[in-house]
Structure 1
Amino acid sequence: MDPLDEVFAAMRVEQALHARLEATAPWGLHTRRIDGTTRFGLMLRGRAWLSMGDAALVQPVRLEQGDCFFIPRGAAYTLQDDIGSPTINCVDAVRNSVDGVVVIGGKDEGEQATVLSGWFHVDPHGAGALSELPPLLHVRMDDARTRMLQSSLQLLALETTRPGLGSGLIVSRLADILFVQAVRAHVQSLAADGATGWLAALADHKIGATLRLMHRELAAGWTVESLAVAAGMSRSAFAQRFRDKVGRPPLDYLAHWRMFRAQGMLRHSEQALAAIAAVVGYDSEAAFNKAFKRRTGVSPGLYRRQAKQTAAEAS
């Protein structure tokens, strides 16, 4: 399994909401923080400024028609036709919406803009794996590597313009697809920037191939030596390059992802602990229990019971 495939499969979109904003200059909209969500927006027409709370981390971004943005950890943001334009609260605007269309702003002669925005709530276990993402993903549609987003954007615009049966489900699935594509574009940009972290390492020719091999054969008895052979490198060179690119040693990374896979299976399956232990590379249930508790602080059985209780309380 490709590492990104594994993460996105684990994310499990649980709920999605969206609205279509029709705005006439001057206009502005501010949102509140929604923890545990990924927020998104698509500039279907016109232009806008996107600002976030901490300007030292994220400078205001100019959105052009066709641009999309994702805020992976639910931070608050502001959209305006111009920096300094007055804003209204998103909650108040949505409360006055009709059929999911929010109309705000000035008189008819002002510049018009259309924004599709919303958020989707995901399983926190899967979302945690994307902690390396920046506070804001901004994808410009004039960039050659993001041309593949166009078809999804067109489908999304059509579905929100002419909603029909199952439109809510279709929009949430398309938003999910757009997020995956945006992350993929982000990974490609990291390789060009020389960034580090497991997302950036996926774009490295040798380390990326090794990461995919580890995920595909997670239960194999990997050693640093065998991984170095698979990468076509010496042991010392591989270990150093892996640490430089990923930010942790190879076997520590392997143990982390074994536990990630195990947690997902415990949360979403009824498989016996011995079967899960075998899938993630442990010879016995006892060895798996010991490793799991060392990493998470609780036993696999208790983790599964707590996850079920949390899910029941949320339903």
Structure 2
Amino acid sequence: MDPLEDVLTLLDTRSQLSASLAAGGRWALRFDAPQGVKFNAVRRGSCLLEVDGVDGPIPLAEGDCYLLARPRPFVLRGDPATAPVAAGPVFARAEGGVARAGQGDDVFLVGGRFSFGARAQELLLDRLPPVVHVPAGTPHADTVRWALDAIDRELTRGEPAAGLVAEHLAVVMLVHVLRLHLARDPHTASGWLAGLSDPVVAAALASLHREPARSWTVAELAREAAVSRSTLAARFKSAVGQGPLEYLTRWRIELAARQLRQGSTTLAVVARSVGYGSESALSVAFKRVTGVSPGDYRRRPAGQASPTEAPPS
């Protein structure tokens, strides 16, 4: 698995589609801060997006889509001068899966949200800007359009498991939006996500994620990336914010934490699976990174499961 796939899998990424929006004339809707990551795609027409804390409106044209990576209120509008009304009651009156605003249907949007597990904020969402805008006309936007077309077909044909297929297609869309963001705006990402934009760092990250239990050295990772040790160390630190072996430790703790959350696997088995030779070695590393022992972490309520809350010593 590659790092992006690993993290999205670790976070238990899921999608939920909402009612579509048909609008026309003079209209504006105000949305409360969404739970999870909100997405919309403009299938017809154009409108403006305004997000609290983001300078200026973002024009949205046919074929555009966007992600809201922060829980901030936002406005969609067709007319700059129209006072927005609350979107909740409008969507509560949706019929046939379509909510309506203003007069007419020259604008049509589809959307929904992505939800993640407890580690999403630090591992993914904090690495993204508040808004990721994907304009039409780029290769990844073409793939996003393909996914949206396929979602439309699934939902309109009403075949068995159509909802499940549509939600998986939405996750495909998310992956391509993230890929486009990395290709277009590498300097706005941070941490491991920023590392994926540097081919040298990305090669080292791929090696670490492919074999997290291996006893890697910086020299071995440098050979995988075809650079010197000093070059790898400097570029990894600059992009990711920590050294490659520190990153490996934290990723191992993420993997161990998932196993601790998911079941009754013994600590010895967990330790071996993530590259530690004994329970005590894992326990020392786990407590150094998280501030709690593996046993205490396992006993925590699920909503409090945050394995890397404490800085490394």
Q: TM-score, normalised by structure 1?
A: 0.88
Moved more, 5-14 or 134-143: 5-14
Spell out the pairing of 1:95-114 with structure 2 (5 A cutoff). 95-106=92-103, 108=104, 112-114=106-108
Distance 2:82 2:67 in 1: 23
1:201 alignment counterpart: 195
Matched, 1:83 2:80: yes
User: Would the aligned equivalents of 2:204 and 2:225 in 1 still touch at CA under 8 Å?
Assistant: yes
What SS does structure 1 have at the residue aligned with 2:50? Answer: strand
1:66 alignment counterpart: 63
Matched, 1:288 2:282: yes
The Cα shift of 1:91 comes to 1.3
What SS does structure 2 have at the residue aligned with 1:259? Answer: helix
1:71-116 CA distance string (max 9 Å, x none): 123322111013232222121112212232111113x4xx721111
What SS does structure 2 have at the residue aligned with 1:147? Answer: helix
Matched, 1:12 2:12: yes
What SS does structure 1 have at the residue aligned with 2:94? Answer: coil
Moved over 6 A (4+): none
User: Would the aligned equivalents of 2:21 and 2:110 in 1 still touch at CA under 8 Å?
Assistant: yes
Moved more, 19-28 or 262-271: 262-271
The Cα shift of 1:46 comes to 0.6
1:122-143 CA distance string (max 9 Å, x none): 2122453112011111111211
Amino acid at match of 2:208: M
Amino acid at match of 2:207: L
Residues 163, 72 of structure 1: CA spacing in aligned structure 2 closer, same or farther, 3 A cutoff? Answer: farther
The Cα shift of 1:199 comes to 1.6
CA-based RMSD of the aligned residues comes to 2.3
The Cα shift of 1:297 comes to 1.9
Report how many aligned residue pairs link the two structures: 304
1:151 alignment counterpart: 146
Distance 1:241 1:265 in 2: 31
Q: Which runs of 5+ in 1 are unaligned?
A: none
The Cα shift of 1:268 comes to 2.4
2:308 alignment counterpart: none
Amino acid at match of 2:25: A
Amino acid at match of 1:293: K
Distance 1:177 1:294 in 2: 36
The Cα shift of 1:310 comes to 6.7
User: Would the aligned equivalents of 1:71 and 1:137 in 2 still touch at CA under 8 Å?
Assistant: yes
The Cα shift of 1:209 comes to 0.7
The Cα shift of 1:68 comes to 1.1
Matched, 1:272 2:266: yes
1:178 alignment counterpart: 173
Matched, 1:117 2:114: no
1:3 alignment counterpart: 3
Moved more, 122-131 or 1-10: 122-131
What SS does structure 2 have at the residue aligned with 1:221? Answer: coil
Matched, 1:223 2:217: yes
User: Would the aligned equivalents of 1:20 and 1:160 in 2 still touch at CA under 8 Å?
Assistant: no
Distance 1:310 1:244 in 2: 31
Amino acid at match of 2:230: S
2:38 alignment counterpart: 39
User: Would the aligned equivalents of 1:14 and 1:123 in 2 still touch at CA under 8 Å?
Assistant: no
Distance 1:81 1:174 in 2: 28
2:309 alignment counterpart: none
1:26-73 CA distance string (max 9 Å, x none): 1111111134x01110111110101100134xx321111111111123
What SS does structure 1 have at the residue aligned with 2:95? Answer: coil
Residues 88, 168 of structure 1: CA spacing in aligned structure 2 closer, same or farther, 3 A cutoff? Answer: farther
1:253 alignment counterpart: 247
Matched, 1:27 2:3: no
The Cα shift of 1:17 comes to 4.3
